[in-house]
Amino acid sequence: MKRWLAEQDPSLEGEIFLDFDPVTGIQPGERWKEALRRSNARCEAVICLLSREWEASAECRTEFRTAESLNKLILCARLEPLTERGITGEWQRCDLFGEGASTQIPVDGMNGFVSFQNDGLQRLYRGIRKAGIGAEHFVWPPANDPDRAPYRGWQPLEECDAAVFFGRDGQLVRSLDELRGMRGSGAQSLFMILGPSGSGKSSFLRAGLLPRLRRDDRHFAVLDIVRPERNALTGERGFAHSLHALRSGLGLDRPVLAEIKNACLAVDAERLLSWLEEAREAAASRLPVEMSATPKPTLVLPLDQAEELFGVDAGPQASQFLRLLGRLLRRTRNGAAPGLIVAGTIRADRYEMMQTAPELADLGTRVFAELRPMPIAQFKEVILGPAARSTAAGRPVRVQPELVERLLAESAEGADTLPLLSLTLARLYADFEGAGELTVNGYKAIGGMSSVVQTEIDAILARDPIERQVQLEHLHSAFVPWLATINPDNDQPMRRVANLSDIPTQARGLIDTFVARRLLIKDVRGGEIVVEVALESLLRQWKELAYWLAAEREDLKEADNLERAAAAWESSSRAHAWLLEGARLTGAESLASKPAFRNRLKNVRTFLIASRRRENDRIVATKQAELKAARDKQEAAERQAAEVRKQARALRTLLAAVTLIAVVAIIGFVQASITAGDAAAGTCQASSLPPASEGWTVAGEGRINGAMGGVQHVSNLQVPTEAVDDALTKRQSVVSRATFGPTAAG
């Protein structure tokens, strides 16, 4: 069997693993189980030659189960009639026995031969060809574009370029295995291809994965690619167009496109699911009759550049599309898988936004993150593969070995290696195709790989310094802010899709030249002519543009933030809570008034006016509140002053009363002293004291005079009459006691 297959396609000679083959099989010293496991893991397909002996072999059954668990494509060919389908019953098979023409193949070391039915052999061979991962299994050039260049430069590779897509065979094998596993389990429905800018995600999906899935029509039915842009549902590359194209290709002419669009905008998942299921039924009906017992093909929806769903200018359909995907990909009411897988690409630095999107929160996702920088060994395929396909198609292209070595050496250094290599090869082919050979001298003539982008720019711009400066100013006004922006997560430049009508008129001629050089892409989408950067490497490798973007980084990020804020305000029914205020509003108004950003931000003018109106109202309200607070404070101060004055008056009254009491006390003391003196004099007189008592009287008078002098400072006080009368009464009492006291005592 291996010999016959190699005779049909010599390239298969070294591609078929047969355990006992002396060249490609298990070598002496190898552990045979480990060798089989490795072969199973890296192979593209497994061929099972079914017989009674095969079914009785535990090793054969184990190999089959291993291949099945690794989600490999399995090709079954029966060598003899078998009564039951056995463990391979799910897989389509062909018969190598029976009536009809046959092919006899000699057996090595024997005089005999084996005989295979021709029809079965051809069916098996076609199955192997369809299962082939390599670019050589696809036709070149495309029938509808016989002059297509094999080196595509910065143009995105399409499905028709599968024959010149080289360097990613290993990743293609593993991605197909993953998708077959998802189809079998039904547990996951999102297959996201991650990679940095310039890693070739779009080409991997378009020219790598999709053409190979389309050939496996027994297991998959592929829709047209969805590119979200600004209208993910109804745009020319939106979901409605993709579903309509699938149904039309299957002969289903109802519903019309307008009805599908309406269902998409209404997020009517039930109707859309019924139309998708009808498409599955139609795809299954086209398979051979013997395939009727196998599951219906799984639908695959390709979603390229999914990061556009989370961009500033994604539009309202982005959130609707995410909600619709969430409903379409969840299990049906009876728990069955919906028969739909979304295979998408997204920049690695934007995947978190999809991962945290609430609309997709509970969906099973398989992340394919193997598009890392390509190993240098595989760059050789990228260089030589397309040239070989062109030569085989009758348009000879030879790549000088010295040039191959030079390109490989320079590809080992720096950033954007794969995009720069692709652009370099495309330039060499365009300039030297007629010579039939790509050489080192030609490579030097275009400036080499490290400066190929700048060389392209310099070829576009005028040599005269003054004219060149004017052209650069025009290009500056086109790229900033229309064709480029800044990723807020890592400050790296990103491309934007711009309407040609938005780009300043004076720059449009230069834009057309960039398009002709394939540095920019111009297309018609949604009735508008749009322009975008072909590859983001341009934003990093063109030195003037890189300088502009670095200088205006903050303005570009703020413009994006302002557009997001305006969109959030609109989606929230213009709620006041979403309006700007304070320094942020002032900064936004300043940015919107800059000449470079004035036109781009014209759509947020209503938002800014509403924000300013509310801010002015807030300022007036704040001033009024401050004035009221000042008045309240003044009134409180006045009330406090009045209270202090009242308290001062009370204190003065209290002080007067205390002083009066003190005066009365002093007067009482003086009077008591006088009374005491008089009483003492009377006592002495009553006791017939000698005249020496006169000295006492004098002394008593001195004390009285001194006491009276001590209270002269209060002589002006007005003492109440009652107090004076009381004092006199007390004095008389004292005098009486003093006068009659001794007599009583005697």
Report pLDDT digits (tens) over 358-378.
999 888 899 999 888 787 778
Confidence band for 292, pLDDT divided at 50, 70 and 90: low
Q: Which pLDDT belongs to residue 708?
A: 42
Highest average pLDDT, of 196-200, 643-647, 709-713, comes from 643-647
Confidence band for 338, pLDDT divided at 50, 70 and 90: low
The residue count of the chain comes to 746
Q: Which pLDDT belongs to residue 326?
A: 92
Confidence band for 277, pLDDT divided at 50, 70 and 90: very high
Are 63 and 92 within 8 A, CB to CB? no
Q: What is the pLDDT averaged over residues 140-165?
A: 92
Q: What is the pLDDT averaged over residues 456-472?
A: 93
Are 137 and 129 within 8 A, CB to CB? yes
Summarize pLDDT for 423-462 with one digit per residue, the tens.
Answer: 999 999 998 888 889 999 999 988 888 888 998 899 899 9
Rounded Cα–Cα distance for residues 293 and 497 (Å): 47
Q: What is the pLDDT averaged over residues 325-348?
A: 80
Rounded Cα–Cα distance for residues 96 and 694 (Å): 170
Summarize pLDDT for 94-125 with one digit per residue, the tens.
Answer: 889 888 888 988 887 778 888 999 999 998 88
Confidence band for 683, pLDDT divided at 50, 70 and 90: low
Strand-pair category, 520-525 with 528-533? antiparallel
Q: Which pLDDT belongs to residue 614?
A: 92
Q: Which pLDDT belongs to residue 710?
A: 43
How far are the Cα atoms of 76, 94, 122, 406 from residue 3, in angstroms, in the given order?
A: 18, 19, 14, 39
Pick the closest to residue 74 from 96, 59, 93 (CA basis): 93
pLDDT over 50 (residue 746): no
Confidence band for 350, pLDDT divided at 50, 70 and 90: confident
pLDDT over 50 (residue 715): no
Q: Kindly report the pTM of this predicted structure.
A: 0.71
> Please, which residues bridge with residue 438 across strands?
399
Other Cβ atoms less than 10 A from the Cβ of 563: the count is 18
How far, in whole angstroms, is CA 16 from its chain's centroid?
Answer: 43
Q: Tell me which H or E stretch contains 271.
A: helix 269-285
Rounded Cα–Cα distance for residues 212 and 434 (Å): 33
Q: Which pLDDT belongs to residue 719?
A: 47
**Helix 417-432 crosses helix 452-460 at what angle (to 10 degrees)?**
50
505 or 413, higher pLDDT: 505
Rounded Cα–Cα distance for residues 329 and 334 (Å): 14
Instruction: Say what percent of the chain tops pLDDT 70.
Output: 87
Confidence band for 745, pLDDT divided at 50, 70 and 90: very low
Highest average pLDDT, of 237-246, 306-315, 356-365, comes from 237-246
Rounded Cα–Cα distance for residues 441 and 641 (Å): 99
Q: What is the pLDDT averaged over residues 716-724?
A: 47
Are 569 and 575 within 8 A, CB to CB? yes
CA atoms within 13 A on the CB side of 60: 15
pLDDT over 50 (residue 31): yes
> Please, which residues bridge with residue 485 across strands?
494
pLDDT over 60 (residue 643): yes
Summarize pLDDT for 589-599 with one digit per residue, the tens.
Answer: 999 999 989 99
Q: Which pLDDT belongs to residue 232?
A: 94
pLDDT over 90 (residue 6): no
Is the bond preceding residue 288 a cis peptide, omega within 30 degrees?
A: no
Which residues contact residue 733 at a Cβ distance below 8 angstroms, ignoring those fewer than 6 apart?
A: none
Domains of the chain: 2-132 (3.40.50.10140), 159-368 (3.40.50.300), 390-450 (no CATH), 650-745 (no CATH)
CA atoms within 13 A on the CB side of 660: 14
Confidence band for 717, pLDDT divided at 50, 70 and 90: very low
pLDDT over 70 (residue 684): no
Q: Which pLDDT belongs to residue 145?
A: 93
Are 466 and 479 within 8 A, CB to CB? no
Instruction: Say what percent of the chain tops pLDDT 90.
Output: 44
90 or 500, higher pLDDT: 500
Angle (CA) 547 549 552, round 5°: 110
Q: Where are the alpha helices (DSSP H) in 31-162?
A: 32-42, 52-56, 58-69, 118-131
Mean pLDDT of the chain: 84
Are 279 and 221 within 8 A, CB to CB? yes
Confidence band for 699, pLDDT divided at 50, 70 and 90: very low
Rounded Cα–Cα distance for residues 44 and 64 (Å): 14
Summarize pLDDT for 258-273 with one digit per residue, the tens.
Answer: 999 999 999 999 999 9
